[in-house]
A and B are shown apart, each in its own frame.
Chain A
Amino acid sequence: MSKLPSKRAETLGGYIVHGIPFPVDTDTESLAFLKRLAPLQIEQDYKITYLHSYGQDSPWFAALSNKKLLANREPESSYTYATPRGHDIYSGAETEWIDITDRQAQVHAFTVCHFGSEEFLPETPFVLALVEFEDVDTLLLTRLMGLNPDDASLDWIGMTVIPKFLRNSQLKPTDVYFVPKMN
């Protein structure tokens, strides 16, 4: 085995800086100047790829890719969750899957995001909405399309909407979105 070089290479990446102010002398009096040194700031990258499992909620995403919107229902009470939940909050019982694709749906609450988290900034403005479904006890967070963001109005609440599905599934909750139902 060959011996390691006695010096680290100077081109391994990171920062190459020149001429940061520093006292010529390093006696206590000269070093006291360092208390007035502006902070040094560097950039640090942080990028991770996660392998995220949808676990017991996976069928919901599989359904979206087949243009179906599922919900979970407690078998005894029929309490129904528009956003999947494997076990009922009240009985603790395992829930079953039901199809709510054709249920009547309407806007329960909404906003127009003119800004957003960095990942979604390129998509602004976009409309976020909580949608309620006939005979379903909880709501679904989704995107509303087909509306003019500049016309935001409380009148949008109660608007009847219908689901649309991406032709090419991304296995994300945005595989389904909603648009106003045309009369």
Chain B
Amino acid sequence: MRPVYAISGGVSKFAKARPDKNFQAIVMEAYDYAINDIGLDFPTFTSLVDGSVASYFSDHFSRQLMAAIMAQDYLGLIPKPSHRVEGGGATGGICFQEAWKSVASGHMDICVAYGFETMSHVETWKGNEFIALASDVSFDYPVGGFYSGYYAMMVTRHMKEFGTTVEQMASVSVKNHINAYHNPYAQKRNRYTIQDVRNSVMVAWPLTRLDICVMSDGAAATILVSEDGLRRLEGAGATIPRPLVEVTGIGRGTDAMRMSDRPHFDYDFFIQNYATEQERNSGETRAYYRRLWDHGTRYPGVHSFRAGRTAGNMAYQMAGIFDPLDELDFIELHDAYTSSEIQTYEDLGLCRYGEGGSFAESGKAYMPDIDYGLELTAEPQCPVNPSGGLIACGHPVGATGLMQAVFAIWQLQGTIEQHFGDNTLQVNNARRGAIHSHAGTGTYVTVSILEKQD
């Protein structure tokens, strides 16, 4: 595999509904932005790009099969090679990694990853029905298929197992909404308090309306290149910021579609197969986990995402990361629910399993210099979802994982102010970041590491 650089990206404004354009034209907004950002015009870039990977989740939402080829056509990319990927909520993250593979393998020198979803074409509860069809239609969906319900079940177990509180979950919502206040691409830019989150409409106990992301229309695109691709683009007049942003690690994990099938492994199996390298090397942490297991905890059960832990461990190993909290400068992770952000802190090894709730309210995942109206006990260490995440930016499924990639590229290029018109969300001296994309009840999870070259 050869080095792959993420050189540019674009995001359409995520919105509840975009009836003003069809999905192809919304993709084009993001695509054009990515091209223009490196100073090329459409025909020049078209003549140089080798191909693409396309991402959208559901044929149901657009009532259009093979929608990806229509986007490929609209972008003027035919007859160049392309394929569509689909993996639920992780579709965008998978797309990013497949584009990485296209370049890393030598198959392409310049590859565009673009993704989209237009979810406004059906009513919210019909949309929830479509999404719930991403659960077993023999055994899960007919019982009352509803993803917010599935996640609520997972978090009741997390609460029972580890003492996680609804206020800790609400603090994630407060953080992400307030971050998004400074992100013009975000769908929901509001200041909330923990009380606001708890007082909002109860959707699936204990998750309220403000614990849950919204459906959106939107698109995102990124351009990945090899060193040869870089030379070709710059030879044609492209202006590509230095230092470059390199994709230094990718990881992916999977798990059973049905939550009910998730295993409950013993302590030894967990330590041997799922503990992070850091956890495995810490006697204190091993003792901590031994106490949890003595108390009845089993892994992953329905409270944890072993696909996320698998993806994280794989990406960290490839990128040479031992202590993610210390060695990552920010993370854009898949917070479809406040509860899943907390669960993901643990999967990604920012804290130990069982400590996600206290980590959430500690302040370690917050941006410095933003007043959240919360009493935080720790200094910001690794901002999580500085963009506002899915909860505030929205979740046009096929675009979401790519949106994270675009925001990560801008963070590492140090160009947040240029793109947001506001420097508040620029992570100081951002050198290395992670993006995390997550499907189903934890069925596909991708983690990719992006790093600014020295």
Contact = CB atoms under 8 A, between A and B. Distances in A.
Contact of B259 (A39, A44, A117, A139): A139
B160 A113 contact: no
B139 A116 contact: no
Tell me which of B19, B153, B159 has the highest count of chain A C-beta atoms within 10 A of its own C-beta: B153
Contacts of B260: 82-83, 130, 138-141
Interface residues of A, number: 48
Nearest to B126: A118
Contact of B63 (A38, A44, A121): A44
Tell me which of B145, B156, B160, B263 has the highest count of chain A C-beta atoms within 10 A of its own C-beta: B156
Contact of B132 (A83, A117, A140): A117
Interface in B158-183: 159-160
Interface in B219-278: 256, 258-264
A139 B145 contact: no
Contact of B125 (A114, A121, A173): A121
Given A113-B144, A114-B203, A84 B259 contact: no
B138 interface: yes
A142 B153 CA distance: 12
Nearest to A114: B202
A108 B157 CA distance: 7
Nearest to A139: B260
A116 B153 contact: no
A157 B295 CA distance: 16
Given A108-B302, A115-B203, A39 B128 contact: no
Tell me which of B137, B153, B260 has the highest count of chain A C-beta atoms within 10 A of its own C-beta: B260
Interface residues of B, number: 46
A168 B335 CA distance: 41
Interface in B114-157: 123, 125-126, 128-129, 131-132, 137-140, 142-146, 148-150, 152-154, 156-157
B138 A116 contact: no
Contact of A130 (B19, B20, B144, B302): B302
A118 B258 contact: no
Contact of B204 (A84, A85, A113, A121): A113
Nearest to A170: B142
B205 interface: yes
A137 interface: yes
Nearest to A112: B205
Interface string A136-171: 011111110000010010100110000000000000
A117 B128 contact: yes
Contacts of A120: 144-146
19 contacts: A46-B63, A52-B138, A89-B261, A108-B157, A108-B302, A109-B157, A111-B152, A111-B205, A115-B203, A117-B128, A117-B145, A118-B123, A138-B260, A139-B302, A149-B205, A152-B206, A172-B142, A173-B142, A173-B143
